[in-house]
Amino acid sequence: MARILIVDDAKFMRLTLSNILHKANHEVVGEGENGQDAVKLYRELKPDLVTMDITMPVMSGIDAVKEIKKEFPDAKIIMCSAMGQQKMVVEAIEAGAKDFIVKPFDELRVAEAINRVLR
C-alpha cells in the first residue's frame, strides 16, 4: 500500500483516480489542483508517489516535476496525459517523471504503472 498524492485541475479526474487507487488498496494522502499545489503538498506530505496532470493552470505538471525533483531527487511521479500529448509526455519523462498513464484512465494500466514505479 502506497501513500499517493493526486494532482489534476479537474475534480472529476481526481475523483476517478482516487477511486481506482482505493480499490487497489492505496491511500490518497492529498489532492492538488495545479503544479504549485503539487510542490507545496509534496513538501508537506512526502508521499510515496504522485500522479500529476500535465496541463494545469498556475504551474504546469512538467514545471512541478522539475521543481519537486530538484528538491527531492528520489520522488516518484507518474504523469497523466490526454491522448495526443506525446511530445509533452517525453518532456515530462526527461524532467524526471517515472511513467505516464493516458486519460481516460484504464484501471489495470493505472495499477500496473504504480506497481512498476514503486518497485
CATH number belonging to domain 3-118: 3.40.50.2300
Give me the DSSP letters along 44-64.
HH--SEEEEESS-SSS-HHHH
pTM of the model: 0.94
**DSSP H or E segment with residue 83:** none
Q: Which of 92, 41, 23, 100 is nearest to 63 (CA)?
A: 92
Per-residue model confidence as pLDDT tens digits over 20-30 = 999 999 999 99
**Residue 104 binned pLDDT confidence (cut-offs 50, 70, 90):** confident
Report the C-alpha gap between 101 and 51 in whole angstroms.
9
**For all residues of the chain together, what is the average pLDDT?**
93
The label of the residue with cell 494545469 reads 56
**Domain locations in the chain?**
3-118
> What was the pLDDT predicted at 102?
87
